[in-house]
Each structure stands twice: as C-alpha cells, then as structure tokens.
Amino acid sequence: MNSVSCHVTGREEEVQVVDGVIQPDLPVLLPKRRKLILHLDLNDTILVSDSATGQGLRAALNSYLSSVVWGKLSDTGEWQWLSDQPSLKPPCEEAINYYTQFGRDCNFSDTEIGQRFRGVFDRHIKLLEWHGEADKMFTQKGEDGKCYHFILPSFFHFMESLHKQGRQFSVILRTFGTDLPRVLQTVHAAFDGKHPNFPQLQHVPLDVDLTAGRIRCSKRETVLTHGSDRISNKAKERNIYNYFSGMAGIGGFQDHFDWWARNNFSSSGGKPFWIDPNDCENQHIFIDDNIRLGEEDTIVNSRVLLGKDAKKVPTSELYDICLVQTDVLRAIAEKDYFLDCVRMCEDNYERYLQNFKLE
C-alpha cells in the first residue's frame, strides 16, 4: 500500500493505492509521524445504551437527542424551539438545550414537545437495526424486542481503516459504567473474525487486552491500576501519560464516577487526560459525548505537561484539537465519522503546536 498525490478541484490530495488500485471511497489521513492514542468513551460514543443508568437503546437514544436540541423559555414560561435540527452547539446565543432545562428524557421523541424530532429518532434507530440472525455477542435487544447493533459499525470501520492506512495507533476505552468487560470481549471476538459484517478484522494485527483497569482520583494523586501494574502521578506528573503512550492494541479502564460526582460533575473531577506539546512521537485524542465547552458540565480533566509540571487547561483550549464531543447521530449514520474526528484533530493540533510555541 502506498500514497500518491492527485489534483482534485484545485487542490492536491493524497489517495490510497492498494495493490495498484486507487481506493476512492477511503477517507485519507495524511501520513503523520505521531502515533495516535485514542481515548474513547463507551456510552453514546461507540455504544448506544447506558449500563450506569440501566437505559436500553431506545431510552439512551432519546436521552441523547434531548441533549442536542435547542430552545428557550418565553416570557410567559412556555418552551419555544429555536431550531428544528439537532446540533452539538447552540444555534444562537440565547438557546439552551432541552436537557439543561428539563433533564434528559428517555421518552423524548414520544412526548408532545419532542414530537417534531420523531423523524430524526426513527431514522437513526432504523440504522441501528441488526440484519440477519441475532448474535449474542454483537447484538442487543431493544425495548421493542428487535435486535440492534451493540457496538456501532462505525467503530469497527474506524479500526479497519486506520490499519489499511498504515497508521500506528492504540485504543484506550474509558468509561464510568460497568459494561467495559463485555465491550472488551465483544471487540476481541470481532478481531478474532467472528463479526459477520467485519470478518476482515481477523487480519488486523491488533491485540485486545481483556483485563479491565481502573483509574481512581483524589486531591493528592491519580492512580491507575491494570493487572499487576500500579501507576501514580504523585511522584511524577507524566507517569500515567507515559503509560498510556506506551500502550499497544486495545485496552480499557473504568474511571472514577464518584470523584466526578463529588466535584459536582465538573472538569475538576473528570476523567484525567494529559497532553504533551513537546512529544513528537504521540498524539492523544479523547472522544466523549460529555465533553462540553463549559467547565461546570464537562467530563474530562485536561492537563498540559510542561517539563516536570502540568497545567490544568479549560476544555475550550483543546476542543476539536485533542477533545472531541461525540456527535452520536453522525457516528450512527456515517461510517467515516471517527476518521473525520481524527483528521480534524490532527490538522488542528498542528496549528495548536505552532501557536503554543509562539506563546
């Protein structure tokens, strides 16, 4: 496999050539020297379900939908919609999302107020349907008795595409929930060639570590445990960063939900995440549906390593650079969604590093 340049509508682009044949449908991540360390949330990122709250697929999709639709209260206290289309960001300055005002609603599209988004819900639930014989490993049963994909197909396509493009990468699954062991088992089975839609994954040399690790936080330190490994950032801030950077294949960790709750669900108690602008070998990217621009309501505690120390930085500094708020609707509908996220982050990271050096 190699890359060649071609001229497309006035610009130079790279295309992939496999066995002498141009692959026109494969979005291309331009060759980079950095290894990708991909931190991926589970619920509402690569899964549509929520073991932490016990929500099934339809309830989880409804709850998510209620968090990406926007309106405001009128002068008389009535809710007014300000957009007919779901979006991660508000369509105008005065807009607030429905869940902020009323809480997440697991029956949202069935309610009178959410009826205008029923078409969006129906389209995406249809895309999640499993076709063919049910498979206890790769399917989940919806509240309606139908079988649906357990892990989004776009995730498996993502893994296959990164391999085809010759990228060096590892995947670190990060969740507050309890479904990590099942997810690791399912991903392992897929890379063993057992997924009927992705049998070619058996040819991807990516090991899946079935040992689920834990990350626990306190005011004094963050401690990562994984099998016999115990890593703390107390003696050296970059210890866990170095551990993550050295990981290979796919692994996973349960993060510290109680610590996030004790910090009022703010970034201070969120999933710890480090980046090092001086690391020329690795780029860390975190994709999670609960990454938000407001520090009082976001899920990642971001720290930039500066020599021996680290500086906590707001989500806004790294948003769409190293932090990506998952657009679940796109992840369901677009097979290349996660590739697009990585491509955006790589481009933006280069600009961030240039600006960082100028400061």
Q: What is the pLDDT of residues 295-354, one digit of tens each?
A: 888 999 999 999 888 999 999 999 999 999 999 999 999 999 999 999 999 999 999 998
311 and 343, same domain (yes or no): yes
Q: What distance lies between CA 173 and its chain's CA centroid?
A: 9
197 and 344, same domain (yes or no): yes
What pLDDT does 31 receive? 54
Q: What is the pLDDT of residues 214-226, one digit of tens each?
A: 999 999 999 999 9
The dihedrals phi and psi of 346, each to the nearest 5 degrees, come to -65, -45
What pLDDT does 1 receive? 47
179 and 260, same domain (yes or no): yes
212 and 352, same domain (yes or no): yes
Q: Using the CB atoms, write b or e for 186-224: b if 16+ within 10 Å.
A: bbbbbbeebbebbeebeebebebbeebbebebeeeebbb
**Radius of gyration of the chain from its Cα atoms, rounded to whole angstroms:** 21
End residue of a domain, out of 150, 183, 215: 150
The H-or-E segment that residue 213 falls in is strand 213-217
Distance CA 121, CA 110 (A): 10
310 and 199, same domain (yes or no): yes
> Which tokens go with 345?
């982050």
Distance CA 130, CA 276 (A): 41
59 and 2, same domain (yes or no): no
71 and 196, same domain (yes or no): no
End residue of a domain, out of 150, 178, 199: 150
Q: What is the pLDDT of residues 262-302, one digit of tens each?
A: 999 999 999 999 999 999 999 999 999 999 988 888 999 99
Q: What share of the chain is helix, strand, coil (3-state, %, to 5)?
A: 30, 30, 40
Give me the domain span that covers residue 81: 48-150
What pLDDT does 49 receive? 82
| Whether the Cβ atoms of residue 33 and residue 43 lie closer than 8 Å to each other | no
Q: What are the per-10-residue average pLDDT scores of the chain (359 residues)?
A: 40 48 56 86 92 80 96 94 95 94 92 96 97 92 92 98 95 95 98 96 96 97 97 95 97 97 94 96 97 90 92 96 98 98 96 77
182 and 223, same domain (yes or no): yes
325 and 211, same domain (yes or no): yes
Domain count across the chain: 3
Answer whether 0.85 is exceeded by the pTM: yes
What pLDDT does 7 receive? 35
What pLDDT does 359 receive? 54
End residue of a domain, out of 104, 122, 150: 150
What pLDDT does 29 receive? 58
The H-or-E segment that residue 6 falls in is strand 2-8
188 and 327, same domain (yes or no): yes
